[in-house]
Structure 1
């Protein structure tokens, strides 16, 4: 579809089989999400919904990893500028709600690192195919801000409240194998099989009964919609924290590869 590929260059959209559109995270610093990519992720799902030749989507990362999350440059800008925080808040809402509202099946293939904004797309996908050795972590509280993005709307449903609280409060990284065990992801395979398996599943869905698949997805996603208020609060709290003091220390500690010293 020319309009999608022309408009969303940061996501490298291309058809990889009949009816299956691939989105590719391919960027510096372990496919970190830039300001352009974040804005594209906020808008592309509604165009996918309205594209008649897209019947399923597969999302993966280039160079053996999924995504290291939001780029430090974007965080630096947000710390200094309230207008950037407002924009990020709106874009984050648009990413989450547009993925939930998109009726077409979305499959993610996760290898290597999956953090932050990249993890949002990986785990809000309808089916997540993950390498056994992948490293998943929600790094918000380690950075010094509330766990916003997608986690509050989805993690308690995926893996239960007790595990969600443990992982989100401690920022404990988990392997793909452990993520499957607790129900956070759909299935795990060996690293070299991730992309092939994700595409195979997306192709199967693209060839399936479209009304049946889409209505089933939409019905299931009412569980997410029912928790929209909690998501809104968490994301607003995240943006509030970006304007506070803890994130400066959290970001500095990540850059200097040391434990944070929060006061």
Structure 2
């Protein structure tokens, strides 16, 4: 890709004139995002913003999975290294704000699992096209930290406070069909149709009036900007939790493939 830095965890290609495809590509780890991948999915929006050839973006995952979220080694490093935690908080905020301030239309094509930072990208896309049997999971509280990232910012706006509280507190997974029913995503289609449908939408948007589309997006995203104080509070509480004891049990449970057992009355700090 002329004009772009070399990416290790992302593949960039042109779907058609004006449509940039960003593919999260770490298939051996279900497209999990390690420190390198998280940094790249944060920065790529600035690179695409600066490219006048880009009129719309299609973002997807390699193979049959969108993204399994944060790589466990990276998550463990956040819990153990204060400097990594500080840098991680800053980058997590930039991922969300870069997406909100990105002026061009973004379409996500989601198959399989979308978790963590992958779910951030999937749901902050302007149009989200998901497989009916996709699994959307916000697992923060199961990990032992507050639901930060995008969750407090956008879930109540998309599906209402009652549904947001239920799924963010319980970490229950949603399939794509249910996510569409409650308004969390734009469209749910059969798995075999996801990429074609998302590509069609991205091509249509790339062919639209660019200024009108960008200004409409800018105005609509004002709803997200007004919720920035809620986002900042949630993100700060999430990363405060990475310094506590509950996240250690959450990480151990993930490693051992079991349910976490949190002690009654335990505190995160």
2:152 is aligned with 1:168:
no
Partner of 2:144: 144
Query: How far did 1:208 drift?
Result: 0.6
Query: How far did 1:7 drift?
Result: 3.3
Partner of 1:14: 13
Return the TM-score normalized by structure 2: 0.96
Secondary structure of the equivalent of 1:15?
A: strand
Secondary structure of the equivalent of 1:2?
A: coil
For residues 165 and 141 of structure 1, the distance between their equivalents in structure 2, rounded to whole angstroms, comes to: 12
2:77 is aligned with 1:77:
yes
Note the 1:223-262 alignment, pairs <5 A: 223-262=223-262
Secondary structure of the equivalent of 2:98?
A: helix
The CA deviation string for residues 153-182 of structure 1, in whole angstroms up to 9 with x for no partner, is 100000000000000000010100000000
The CA deviation string for residues 170-217 of structure 1, in whole angstroms up to 9 with x for no partner, is 001010000000000000110011011111100110011001100000
Query: How far did 1:37 drift?
Result: 1.1
Secondary structure of the equivalent of 1:32?
A: coil
For residues 16 and 106 of structure 1, the distance between their equivalents in structure 2, rounded to whole angstroms, comes to: 13
Query: How far did 1:42 drift?
Result: 1.8
Partner of 1:133: 133
2:109 is aligned with 1:109:
yes
Partner of 1:59: 59
Query: How far did 1:9 drift?
Result: 3.6
The CA deviation string for residues 210-254 of structure 1, in whole angstroms up to 9 with x for no partner, is 011000000000000000111011111111111110011111111
For residues 255 and 8 of structure 1, the distance between their equivalents in structure 2, rounded to whole angstroms, comes to: 28
For residues 29 and 255 of structure 2, the distance between their equivalents in structure 1, rounded to whole angstroms, comes to: 12
For residues 253 and 119 of structure 2, the distance between their equivalents in structure 1, rounded to whole angstroms, comes to: 21
The CA deviation string for residues 115-169 of structure 1, in whole angstroms up to 9 with x for no partner, is 1110000000000000000011100000000001001110000000000000000
Structure 2: give runs of 5+ residues left out of the alignment. Answer: 264-269
The CA deviation string for residues 82-141 of structure 1, in whole angstroms up to 9 with x for no partner, is 110111111111110110001100000000011111000000000000000001110000
Give the structure with the larger helix fraction: 1
For residues 227 and 215 of structure 2, the distance between their equivalents in structure 1, rounded to whole angstroms, comes to: 20
- Is this contact kept in 1: 2:8–2:36, CA < 8 A? no
Structure 1: give runs of 5+ residues left out of the alignment. Answer: none
For residues 223 and 168 of structure 2, the distance between their equivalents in structure 1, rounded to whole angstroms, comes to: 20
Query: How far did 1:8 drift?
Result: 2.9
Query: How far did 1:25 drift?
Result: 1.1
Query: How far did 1:79 drift?
Result: 1.2
Partner of 1:100: 100
Q: Stretches of 4+ moved more than 4 A in 1?
A: none
Query: How far did 1:44 drift?
Result: 1.5
